[in-house]
Chain A
Amino acid sequence: PVPSVSSPPRAPLPPVCPCRMPAQLQHPGYPAGRLQAAEEAVPCREAQAAALLALFGEPEHYSYPSLFLYGHRATGKSHVTLTLLRELQLPHAAVSCVECFSAGLLFEQVLGSLFGHEAVSQSLARYSSFSDFVRVFQQLSARSSLPRHTRYIVLDRAELLRDMDANLLPGFLRLQELVEDNVTVILLSEIVWEKFRPGTGCFEPLVLHFPDYSKAELQLILSQDPSPAYSPELYGTYINILLGVFFTVCRDLRELRHLAALNFPKFCEPLEKGEGNGSVSLSLSKGNPPHLVHSLSFSVTLRVSSASCLSLSGHLSVSSPGLSAHAHVELPCHSKFLLIAAYLASYNPARTDRRFFLKHHGRIKKTNFLKKHEK
């Protein structure tokens, strides 16, 4: 999935951060300014970024043929990778495997973003196999005038590769070997490598794990995009309260960001009414604000996405029935009977249908059990 952190254009980071560590991203091959920019864009993921950078090496160096990054949703896998590639201006192709319902589409997108779309549409046939891909890759790579820097192919949601052609995943893992060129494939997935292994003879990629964010890290990341109307401190307090309520049920950064955006206006309501400034925020922080608990109950009990919760809270007063689980569905009479009958029938074996559903089904045979008890 797309990491939540990357999606919206972000306000510059607050200059002072108490827990900031000394710069971890250091590499002789890249200018320090770019490294700094990259590090600032990946808060709380400096360690992973440093590990990746070490693996990348200098632009001309050959890198490890294939990397496998995994971790839960919204742990910054693709964000870290893409930020590094972008900030350091490395040639790369980022493709999401969901989008490519055929292998040909995948090849086209990879080659297109590496060598330009025009060249690809000329040389790649409509229904191409993996060997076509390798051939075209070699041709185009030989033709290109760029210096021989490592090319990176980032395949998001790589677990979908398993459902495509059988040679695709092993092929990509050994791509460097096959094209005999400086190329590295980075696979991103939410599941572990053990579930990928396609049998014998497969090249083992280098596996890198992205752990979940801790509560403190979440707090740090979430408070980085404060509302412009209020002070960053107030927003920080708000995030603190928010995490206190939601952290037990939801650790997904993206979801939390959404909840934060959703509930902030309500949180600010007392401030809008305007009694004081500092002391009010203190009084706000006492206990769980009722609207947060309300919103929690929605997202937990009904499994309603926060998105619909938004519209729900907006329209609850406007006599809309809402996304209630008990929403009344009107059905025609016969459909109702059919449903009821199917429901009832699903609880007894087929042979007893007659006994249960027919009015005059005949005499019930005495079972051995009953006979025994009569004696």
Chain B
Amino acid sequence: MATSSVSKGCFVFKPSSKKRRRTLSIEDYFQNDNIDPETSTLRFQTCQSLWEQMKTEVEVFQEELNKKILDRLLEFARKTTATSRSTADDWASRMRSSEIPTAALVLGVNVPDHDVTLRRLSELLQQSATPFVVSLQSKECSALKQMVQKVLLQLMGCTVSLDEEEEEQPALSEAADLPRKRAHCSLATLCDWYQAVQKKAAVPSPCKSRGSPGDGVGQSPPVVVIFKDFEGFNPRVLQDFIIICSQYIQKLPLTFVFGIATSPITIHHVLPHSVSSLLCIELFQSVPCTEHLAMVIDKLVLTTQFPLKLSGKVLRVLIGIFLYHDFSVRNFIKGLQLALLEHFYNSPLSVLCCKKREALSRAQQLSHENCEGVRRLPSFMRYIENQEPQEQIELLTNDQHLKDVCQRLLRDLHTYHKQYYPVLRCLHTLTATLPKHPLGKQIRELHVTCLERNVWECEEYASALQLLRTPVPKMVLEGRVKRLLIKRCWVVIMVLLTPATDHSCFSVQETLAVFHREDRSAEGECTEEGEDASPRPRLQKKTDLFHLQKTLLEMKESRRTKKLSRFEVLRNEALDFIETLVKYVLFKFALQTSVHCCDDSAERLFFANLASSCLSLKFLCYPLNLPKNDALKSEEGAISNAAPDICIVYKLHLECGRLINLYDWLEAYRTVVAAAEGKDRDGTEAGTFDEEKHARFIRAVSELEFLGFVKNTKQKTDHVARLTWGGC
């Protein structure tokens, strides 16, 4: 490596290949040296397989969810092809032939989720309707030129790949060169190209008529242009593009799809009437994201299919992020994944988080450290406390015994989950429609409550049951009868699911049978309730005061008791039964939080997912709240001097008024930082230190400016203006 040279020059040193680091696989990143390295591979594999399962589950049901709307869209695309062919004879369609068929697809404000739906749409279109599908994003189309270029590139590129399959070498090179050879790409070029392709397709070639998907549709498959984020497009560009397209619609069967985030009315905000009248708009509404989320939770969280159980805190954080910040189901699932990774990465006992049978065998193979880990679990400690002293000693000293107990507990846990969800659903169906929703409108709220404490101990539960017991107008009552039936079906399902190990289950079944019988008769009687009442004791005509009083009292009494018809008795019985069931099943299970739930990750999840201003504010005020930052704890109100520069500067700026004197600010900062260094030598070595601090200060201030807390002002020299108010 000689760099000696007669003249000046720069020398390039290529890094030697030996020095290059071996690229790490995902598994290597999973190695956590602090936490039980032996099982890390196992944990990694478990984690991977679990995530794969969850992912496929999500994909399958999202497919189902979007199926309806995608089918309608496909139908729409096919229909436009059909009408464009029959143009010649159909009067109505001829009158409309100058319009561009447009599908306005309202996707909701959860923009991160749109991508999946639209990508799926374009795949489906390519499979079944037309090979010519273009997806445009607003950030790629800042000017008309880019937009047209993008369209041309995607379309002509698509046929290049088609041609490759057909092994037409000359055609391939020609098509590939076309956009480059031309000086300008315009829609006229595209139009010529389209007609050339159509002509080529019209020539019957045996191999193509079999294979190509476009052939089933007809001679002229439409060119579908998908505008992914309609609101993001520059209105000017979009208008021009639409006007140009409408001039070619006769020769080039275009179809638009607008992906709209807000509401269809924005079309008319973005496009003036003269442009929107060139479109023939049909509206499509996708599934609301709240429903989507409810289904995700239903499929991933409220199910026994996956061994991972989220703790209440994590679930609360995830749902909070969803409801308060982005409405994005995709981010919710990402958060779920993060929680999963976190759990498997950090806790060695997560090996047990798998299917029942495997978990049982793995419980037998726990190492000594892991056994110790089990003993340290808070929930297990609670369990131990409730045991006999003899048993306690045994559990704490004998590993083998511990493993056996673990196995038993795991088995119980699985059984518990099997019972838990159906009963949860029962309780939810029962209480969801109550006025004021004491236990929450959504099942997830109930679930979170159940996770956090014993549900029957909280006030809301009591009030809900109170509401259920109070007599209600007849109309509502009948509805409730039905609901009770539905709920009972759930209970039956539960009983079927439960392996009849517990003797209580038999009693459950018996009770249910009784209820069913009575229920049927009660339904009949519900209508005849009025006649059922016993004849009232008539008032005697001649009577003394005492007698009258007595009779009245009796009547009152009888009225009160009579009120309880058979139905009501039945209802009360049913409710009592449910209550016992709830108490039996929904208790907080020992070992639950420890083995299967990821609790501590909630906070990290929160920080990982949020990049909002509210977070930055929080960070600035309470740097000690950041994970793993215990060193910064200080008393309330004081400025901790070990905090990051920006936090100090922020705290100092809170003390100022609307205009901040930069010099004073710097001085204050310097004092705080000097105190941090613990040496009081501002008088001695001012020079070097000042420069460094000055630089740090300036950087902190410019960071604050970037975050939007202060800005430059011309009102006063050497001052900045505060953009927020409040503080100390």
Residues of A at the B interface (CB closer than 8 Å) are 1-2, 4, 7-9, 73, 96, 98-102, 104-105, 108-109, 121, 124-126, 225, 227-229, 254-255, 257-258, 260-261, 264-265, 302-308, 310-312, 314-315, 320-325, 327-335, 353-354, 358
**Are A261 and B95 closer than 8 Å at their CB atoms?**
yes
| In the complex, chain B residues 238-271 whose Cβ is within 8 Å of any chain A Cβ | 240, 243-244, 246-247, 250, 262-265, 267-268
Min CB distance A323 to B, Å, is: 5
B458 contacts A by Cβ under 8 Å: no
Min CB distance B170 to A, Å, is: 19
**Are A329 and B109 closer than 8 Å at their CB atoms?**
yes
Residues of B at the A interface (CB closer than 8 Å) are 91-92, 94-99, 102, 104, 108-109, 143-145, 148, 182-184, 186-188, 240, 243-244, 246-247, 250, 262-265, 267-268, 273-274, 276-283, 285, 288-290, 322-327, 612, 614, 725-726
Say which residue of B96, B274, B327, B726 sits within 8 Å of A261 (CB atoms): B96
Contacts of B268 in A (CB 8 A): 302-305, 323
Contacts of B281 in A (CB 8 A): 305, 307-308, 311
Min CB distance A151 to B, Å, is: 20
Contacts of B186 in A (CB 8 A): 99-100, 105, 109
A102–B144 CA distance with the chains assembled, in angstroms: 10
A310–B83 CA distance with the chains assembled, in angstroms: 16
Contacts of B98 in A (CB 8 A): 2, 4, 7-8
5 closest A-B pairs (Cβ-Cβ)?
A261-B95, A327-B263, A308-B281, A311-B282, A305-B276
Given A98-B243, A305-B276, A307-B279; A8-B94 close (CB under 8 Å): yes
A8–B89 CA distance with the chains assembled, in angstroms: 12
A358–B726 CA distance with the chains assembled, in angstroms: 8
**Are A330 and B108 closer than 8 Å at their CB atoms?**
yes
**Are B188 and A109 closer than 8 Å at their CB atoms?**
yes
Interface core residue of A101, A315, A354 (most chain B CB under 10 Å): A101
**Are B288 and A330 closer than 8 Å at their CB atoms?**
yes
Contacts of A260 in B (CB 8 A): 95
**Are B91 and A227 closer than 8 Å at their CB atoms?**
yes
A137–B360 CA distance with the chains assembled, in angstroms: 88
Min CB distance B324 to A, Å, is: 4
Contacts of A353 in B (CB 8 A): 725
**Are A332 and B244 closer than 8 Å at their CB atoms?**
no
Min CB distance B225 to A, Å, is: 16
Min CB distance B248 to A, Å, is: 9
Min CB distance B104 to A, Å, is: 8
Contacts of B104 in A (CB 8 A): 308
Min CB distance A226 to B, Å, is: 9
A interface, over-half SS: loop
Contacts of B324 in A (CB 8 A): 332-334
**Are A265 and B92 closer than 8 Å at their CB atoms?**
yes
User: What 14 additional pairs, Cβ within 8 angstroms, besides A323-B283, A331-B109?
Assistant: A1-B274, A7-B250, A9-B94, A126-B183, A258-B96, A304-B268, A307-B99, A307-B280, A308-B281, A314-B282, A320-B283, A329-B262, A330-B108, A332-B323
A226–B187 CA distance with the chains assembled, in angstroms: 33
Interface core residue of B91, B99, B289 (most chain A CB under 10 Å): B91
Given A99-B244, A305-B268; A225-B187 close (CB under 8 Å): no
Contacts of A108 in B (CB 8 A): 183-184
Say which residue of B184, B244, B283 sits within 8 Å of A311 (CB atoms): B283
Min CB distance B279 to A, Å, is: 5
A7–B273 CA distance with the chains assembled, in angstroms: 19
**Are B276 and A308 closer than 8 Å at their CB atoms?**
yes
A108–B282 CA distance with the chains assembled, in angstroms: 37
Closest to B99 in A: A307
Contacts of A306 in B (CB 8 A): 277
A68–B258 CA distance with the chains assembled, in angstroms: 37
**Are A322 and B283 closer than 8 Å at their CB atoms?**
yes
A96–B186 CA distance with the chains assembled, in angstroms: 12
**Are A98 and B240 closer than 8 Å at their CB atoms?**
yes
A313–B182 CA distance with the chains assembled, in angstroms: 45
Closest to A307 in B: B280
Contacts of A311 in B (CB 8 A): 280-283
A9–B612 CA distance with the chains assembled, in angstroms: 57
**Are A7 and B184 closer than 8 Å at their CB atoms?**
no
Contacts of A1 in B (CB 8 A): 243, 274
**Are A333 and B276 closer than 8 Å at their CB atoms?**
no
Min CB distance B659 to A, Å, is: 13
**Are A225 and B95 closer than 8 Å at their CB atoms?**
yes
A7–B96 CA distance with the chains assembled, in angstroms: 10
**Are B183 and A104 closer than 8 Å at their CB atoms?**
yes
